Amino acid sequence: MQGVNTIAALAAAVARKHSVFRLGHARLGHARLGRKAGLMLAAVAAGLALSLPAHADNPNQGKKFKVAADVGLVPFFMRGTDGKMDGFSNDLTQEVAQRMGYDGVEVIDTPFSAIFAGLFSSRYDMVAAPTNTTRERAEQMLFAEPYMAGGLSFLAKKGATVNALEELKGKTIAVNNGSFSDRWLQENQEKYGYKIQRFNKNTDAVQAVAIGRAFANMSETPLARYIATKTPALAPVYDMTTEANYAFAFRKDDTALRNRVDEVLECMKQDGSLSKLHVKWFGTEPNAGTAMTVVFPGYGAPDYPGYEPTEHTPDCSRP
């Protein structure tokens, strides 16, 4: 718009100059030409002004939304047989980006153990990998409102049983390094006496169970249930509920972006498109009253640092 304002100002100045400038009869024709030039410039400025609002109203046009993901964490971010990115979180991120007016998404594959360091160093603008909300994390970053309930599960060979966590004593548990599951295992290792085996990809942790190097893989419940549907030899043997939910993460100073993504998620909950993604990837409707269906007040994850209680009504029509 700055270019349009400059041209408009120039046209106005030319028109004013020639309207007050007194010339002799010999130069009258030049004055008329000057006035015509001014009118032509004004017309050009008006035309440009009409062509630019779409760009001004959509600052993301022509840009890719840069996000981080731990690619291979099924069914959230993974590559299909054609090599293209796929998964629940990929579909969700693509939809969010489209509604915000971006020209697609650039997914930067990052091990989860290094994913927040990349966010803080501005390698990307959002962590799109499924990230559990915790108070410790909320002290360092902003969360958008939660979009899926969490939970933790142990995945073991079919036929194995775990009736109580005390039964894990002496057993090896494979886990994705730096994940929420890894943190839980660290905090409870002394209490339950299991061994921890860490991998940079959860797919490798699952493989360790399949070949007998570990008794079980611990991961988020949605992930464990999906893996079990694709790997008949494995099954969830113990589930735990947690207070954490999945949410997108942003840098502390990126309030405007967090708030805009927050509003897009609210629109997706209201129009049912978020629930449709759950059905597509997990085969069932999300439970009523959970993070996938509830529109939270304010911006962010309630009761966590960085939450803003500002009342608002999302504009679901704007990019």
List the one residue out of 231, 204, 244, 243 whose CA is nearest residue 113: 204
Interval 26-38 mean pLDDT: 46
Task: Please indicate whether residue 191 or residue 225 has the higher confidence score (pLDDT).
Answer: 191
CA 73 to centroid of chain Cα atoms:
15
**Residue for token pair 């050009």:** 44
| Count of Cβ atoms closer than 10 Å to residue 191 Cβ | 10
Q: Poorest-confidence range of 23-32, 66-75, 134-143?
A: 23-32
**How large a percentage of the chain has pLDDT more than 70?**
82
Confidence of residue 73 (pLDDT cuts 50, 70, 90): confident
Task: Characterize the bridge pairing of strands 142-143 and 249-250.
Answer: antiparallel
Amino acid, res. 309: P
Instruction: Dump pLDDT digits (tens) for 247-271.
Output: 999 999 999 999 999 999 999 999 9
Task: List the structure tokens of 190.
Answer: 């002394």
> What CATH architecture applies to the domain 65-149+245-282?
3-Layer(aba) Sandwich (3.40)
Triad 181, 187, 188: Cα angle to 5° = 90
Domain ranges of the chain: 2-57, 65-149+245-282, 152-240
- What are the strands of the beta sheet with 172-176, ordered from one edge? 195-199, 172-176, 216-220, 152-157, 234-240
Q: What value does the mean pLDDT take over residues 131-160?
A: 95
Residue by residue, what is the 3-state secondary structure of the chain?
CHHHHHHHHHHHHHHHHHHHCCCCHHHHHHHHHHHHHHHHHHHHHHHHHHHCHHHHHCCCCCCCEEEEECCCECCCEEECCCCCEECHHHHHHHHHHHHCCCCCEEEEECCHHHHHHHHHCCCCCEECCCCECCHHHHCCCEECCCCEECCEEEEEECCCCCCCHHHHCCCEEEEECCCHHHHHHHHHHHHHCCEEEEECCHHHHHHHHHCCCCCEEEEEHHHHHHHHHHCCCEEEEEEECCCCEECCEECCCCHHHHHHHHHHHHHHHHHCHHHHHHHHHHCCCCCCCCCCCCCCCCECCCCCCCCECCCCCCCCCCC
Of the candidates 277, 204, 232, the residue with the CA atom closest to the CA atom of residue 219: 204
Angle at Cα 31 formed by Cα 29 and Cα 34, nearest 5°? 115
What average pLDDT score do residues 214-241 get? 91
Residue 312 has pLDDT above 60, yes or no: yes
- Residue 318 pLDDT grade (very low, low, confident, very high; cuts 50, 70, 90): confident
Distance CA 282, CA 125 (A): 27
Rounded to two decimals, the pTM is: 0.72
Query: Torsions phi, psi of 81, nearest 5?
Result: -65, -20
* Residue pair 88/281 in contact by the 8 Å Cβ criterion: yes
Residue 46 has pLDDT above 80, yes or no: no
The pLDDT of 158-170, averaged and rounded, is: 96
| 175 within 8 A of 196, measured Cβ to Cβ | yes
> Does domain 152-240 bear CATH number 3.40.50.720?
no
Residue 54 has pLDDT above 50, yes or no: no
Residue 20 to residues 16, 17, 140, 196, Cα–Cα distance (Å): 7, 6, 63, 86
Residue 161: CA count within 13 A, CB half-sphere = 1
CATH topology match: 65-149+245-282 vs 152-240: yes
pLDDT of res. 31:
43
- Mean pLDDT for the stretch of residues 207-220: 96
Amino acid residing at 298: G
pLDDT of residue 285: 87
What's the pLDDT at 35? Answer: 54
| Residue 38 reports pLDDT greater than 60 | no
Q: Going by C-beta distance under 8 Å and a sequence separation of 6 or more, which residues neighbour residue 124?
A: 66, 67, 68, 106, 108, 118
* Residue 16 pLDDT grade (very low, low, confident, very high; cuts 50, 70, 90): very low
